Structure 1
Amino acid sequence: MFGFAECVDLLGTYTAVCIDEFELDDPGNTTLIARLLSSLVERGVSVAATSNTLPEQLGEGRFAAQDFLREINTLASIFTTVRIEGPDYRHRGLPPAPQPLSDEQVAARAARVDGATLDDFDALCAHLATMHPSRYLTLIEGVRAVFVTGVHGIDDQNVALRLVSLADRLYDAGIPVVASGAKLDTIFSEEMLAGGYRKKYLRATSRLLALTAAASPAREP
C-alpha cells in the first residue's frame, strides 16, 4: 500500500496513466482523486479514463456532489470528453440467471473442486465489512471457484457496494461462482437500481451472471 506522496512519485514517472471505469462514490475519494490527478497533470503526465458518467456529472445521486463542485470541476477540467455511442456489448449473449441450487448441492459441488471456497452469504458480507475493498484481492488469491449458500436480496447500500467490489475482483480474475438461495439477478432491489449506483449494480449483476455461466458443471476444474 502506498501513501499519497509515494503514489504521486510512482505514477509521476509515467508518460500516461489510464483509468478504466472511472467513477466517484464518496466525498473522501472525490477530494483524494482530484488532488492526485491534479498533481500528475502538473508533472506532465497525461491521463485517460473510461467512464459511463460525464466528468461534470460525477458523484450525482451518490453523495452531496454540490458540496464538492470545486473538486468535481477540477476533475472535469482535466479531461476532454469523447463520447462513444453504441450498444453495451457486455450484455450480449448474457445468460439468464440460473435456477438456484440447494445448499446441499452447492456444498457437494464445492467438495469436488480443489481450491474452492464455501461461504454462507451473510457471513461473507460480514467479513467483507472488516476490510477495505482495496484488499479484497487478497481474499481470492489461489481460489479457483467460489461457492456461496443462502444468497438473498440486500437492503443495505454499504453491503451492496462491498459486494459490487468483490464481484469486480472475481470477474477480473475469472473465478467461477456457484450459489444457492435467491437468483443472482435479484440481489439488488428495484429501489437500489433506481438510485445513483444503478450502473454499478447492473454491472455487478452482469458479471455475476457471467461467472455463474463459467461455473457450469462441464467447465469446473
Structure 2
Amino acid sequence: MADPVSHPVTAAYDRIVAEGRIKDDAAQRTVLPALDRLVAAVARAPAAGKPGGLLGRIFGAAAKPPPGPVARGVYLWGGVGRGKSMLMDLVVEAAPIEKKRRVHFHEFMQEVQSGLNDARLRGDADAVRPVAETIAASTRLLCFDEMQITDIADAMIVGRLFQLLFEKGVTVVTTSNRVPEDLYKNGLNRQLFLPFIALIRERMQVIRLDSDRDHRQGRAAGGQVWFTPEDGDRRTTLDEIWAELTGAAPARPRALEIRGRSVTIPAAHDRVARADFYDLCGRPLGPADYLAIADAFDALIIDDIPWLGPANYDMAKRFVTLVDALYEAKVRLYASAAAEPDRLYPEGRGAFEFERTASRLNEMQAADWAAP
C-alpha cells in the first residue's frame, strides 16, 4: 500500500481497490503520480494571507512530493466511463485542506454567469475580477467535472476567469471527454477562444486517460436494463444500479439551462441521472430540453413508466421525443415500466406510431448497444 502522506491519491486508490469498489486499472494508475504531486503541492502551499499551516508543515517536512513537474492544475481527458470522475473524487478526498470544492462544470458556469450579472448591475468596469476574487476567497482547490464549452457566452469569459484564478493561487482539476484543442470546436468566433487553450497547455498538466475499459459497462454488458412488475422490487433494483454507476454517490438535483429556461433533473451525479417518468414527460418539455438532457448524461434511470395510450397522449408523445434523443446520443437507459416496450402502448391513437419507439427501446437493451 502506498504511503498516504507522500502518495495520498495512490493510497486512496489502493484502498478502494482492496475494498472491491473498483477494479485495478493500469491506465488509471499511470495518472496517479501526477495527482499525488498536485495534492502534495496544494497541501504545502500556504493559504492566502498566511505563512503556512500545520498541514503544510507536515507535508513539507515529512515528505517530498513524488518527482516530476507540478502544475497549477490537471486537465484529465479521455473517453466516457474510463474513471476520470472517480480519480478526481480521490483528489478531493485526499487533499488535506478545507477550501476545496467539487462541482459539475455546467453548474459552475451558471454560477459564474450569475456573478457576472450581479457585477454588471453594480456597474463594475471589470465584471470578471470580482467573480474570480469571490471564488478564490473560498476555494484553493477547484475540481469540476466534464469541461465542455458549447455556449459563446462561456467561451468569451473562461480564459480571463481562469487566468485570474491561477494568479490568485487556485489549483484547478478538471475532466473532459475532449482534448483541449477540441474544446468549442467550430464555435462562433472560436479564434477568440484559442488563448484559453494555450492557457490550459501552459498552466495545467494535460493527461489522457487511455484506458480500453469502460467502467460504466459493468452492469450494461449483459445485464438487464428494463424492469417490469414481474421482476420484483424494481425500485430497489434501480437503486442498486444507481449505486453501481455512481459508486454509491449521493444524488443531487441539477439544473440545466436551456434557451433561457432552467430544467431541473431531480437526481444526478457526474454524467448519470435519475428521474421519475412524470418528472421528464409530465411537464411541458420539448425537443430542445430532451436534447440537452441527452447531451448532459451518459446514463439515465427512469422510474415508473406507466401504461401509455390516448388518456396520457401528450406525455406519451414527450416520451417518444425523449427516447429519440437518448437513442441518437447513445445514452444508456435503465427503466422500470408497466410492461415490456412492445406492450407498453397497447391500443388507440398513437399506438401505431409508438411501434418505432418500442423497437428502439428493445434495441437499446442490447449489451453492446451503447458501446463506442
- TM-score interval, smaller chain: 0.5 to 0.7
How many correspondences in the alignment? 163
Q: 2:317 matched to 1:187?
A: no
Partner of 1:92: 218
Output the CA distance in 2 between the equivalents of 1:19 and 1:69. Answer: 21
Secondary structure class of the residue paired with 2:194: helix
CA RMSD, 1 decimal: 4.4
Matched, 1:11 2:135: yes
For residue 110 of structure 1, what is the aligned residue in structure 2? none
- Structure with bigger strand share is 2
Q: Secondary structure of the equivalent of 1:49?
A: strand
Provide the secondary structure at the position in 1 that maps to 2:207: coil
**Residue 10 of structure 1: how far off its partner (Å):** 2.9
CA distance in 1, matches of 2:148, 2:181: 11
- Opposite residue 53 of structure 1, the aligned amino acid is R
* Ranges in structure 1 where 5+ consecutive residues have no aligned partner: 101-126, 191-200
Partner of 2:145: 20
Whether the aligned pair in 2 keeps the contact of 1:25 and 1:63 (CA below 8 Å) is no
Give the drift of 1:48.
0.9
Aligned to 1:65: 190
Identity of counterpart residues, as a percentage?
21
2:166 paired with 1:36: no
Distance 1:130 1:33 in 2: 20
Distance across 2 between alignment mates of 1:11 and 1:38: 13
Give ranges in structure 2 of 5+ residues lacking alignment.
1-110, 117-128, 229-256, 268-273, 306-315, 339-372
* Cα deviation code 1:45-88 (max 9, x no counterpart): 11111111111221225556345323333344332111112122
Q: In the alignment, residue 196 of structure 2 is paired with which amino acid?
A: E
Please list the CA deviations of residues 74-123 of structure 1 after superposition, one character each: whole Å capped at 9, or x if unmatched. 344332111112122123322566499xxxxxxxxxxxxxxxxxxxxxxx
CA contact (8 A) 1:97 1:184 kept: no
Asked if 1:146 is matched to 2:273, the reply is: no
Cα displacement (A) at 1:186: 3.5
TM-score by length of 2: 0.35
1:54 to 2:192 alignment: no
Cα distance change, pair 130–178 in 1 and its aligned pair in 2 (3 A): farther
Tell me what 1:162 maps to: 292
Max radius of gyration: which structure?
2
Indicate if the aligned counterparts of 1:145 and 1:177 stay in contact, CA closer than 8 A.
yes
Tell me how far apart the structure 1 counterparts of residues 141 and 160 of structure 2 sit (CA, whole Å): 17
Superposition deviation, residue 21 in structure 1? 1.0
Pair 128,22 (structure 1): closer, same or farther in 2 beyond 3 Å: closer
**Could you say if the C-alpha distance between residues 60 and 145 of structure 1 is closer, same or farther in structure 2, counting changes exceeding 3 Å?**
closer
